[in-house]
Amino acid sequence: MTTTNLEARLVEVVRADPNLMHVLTTVRALDLPDWRLVSGAVYQAVWNAQTGRAAGYGVKDYDLAYFDASDVSYEAEDEVIKRVAAAFDEPFRSQAEVRNQARVHLWFENRFGEPYDALTSTDQALSRFVAPTFAIGVRLEADDAITVAAPFGLEDVFSMTIRPNPLRPLAKGWAKTIANARGRWPELTVVEPERVDL
């Protein structure tokens, strides 16, 4: 299936999920710079559609990424986190995970033990995610179009395949990530890394 067809299918899945549309509509109104809803809630919506599960099954949070290099302080990011939280009622308020991609390089190595070069956009961050199937982001535009960013394409997402990101070292928590995903979606196909760096 072509990239255009897969993008159209993804948009259909997103529009059919009332929780995703609620998050997208709410965040659009906040007008955050270079924002997207990324990763879990998006690819998991596809997996639910592919397996006939209810919308929202297995979704633990909504990862909201934005990019603002004008102030990369923790305090500035915290203000945005509070602003996003205030826009939602529960359970969405507790499930919204907001990160300024312009400051990830400041804390990533301390937290995950690997270097992380500074980013220039939210979409660039996707290419560094743990697996190609996780590297997906959507945004509800002013004209109600849903735009998609997926640097590795959408084939892995729709085939429910998880493989390591070839552009970065294997994530330290790879085994735990896979076990967690398989626990909720046993239909997944996992392409294990050729070797594990110890």
pLDDT in tens, the chain (198 residues): 677 799 999 999 999 999 999 999 999 999 999 999 999 999 999 999 999 999 999 999 999 999 999 999 999 999 999 999 999 999 999 999 999 999 999 999 888 888 899 999 999 999 999 999 999 999 999 999 999 999 999 999 999 999 999 999 898 889 999 999 999 999 999 998 875 544
Taking the CA atoms of residue 180, residue 182, residue 184 and residue 188 in that order, the dihedral angle to the nearest 10 degrees is 140
In 31-138, alpha helices (H): 40-51, 74-87, 92-95, 104-112, 122-126
- Please, are residues 37 and 24 in contact by the beta-carbon 8 Å criterion? yes
**In this structure, what DSSP letter does residue 141 have?**
-
Rounded to an integer, what is the distance from CA 5 to the centroid of its chain? 20
- Residue 89 to residue 86: CA distance in whole angstroms: 8
Task: Say whether pTM exceeds 0.85.
Answer: yes
* 99 SS3 class: strand
**In this structure, what DSSP letter does residue 1 have?**
-
- Residue 63 to residue 94: CA distance in whole angstroms: 11
- Residue 184 to residue 170: CA distance in whole angstroms: 22
Q: Tell me which H or E stretch contains 137.
A: strand 137-140
C-alpha angle 53-42-59 in degrees, rounded to nearest 5: 55
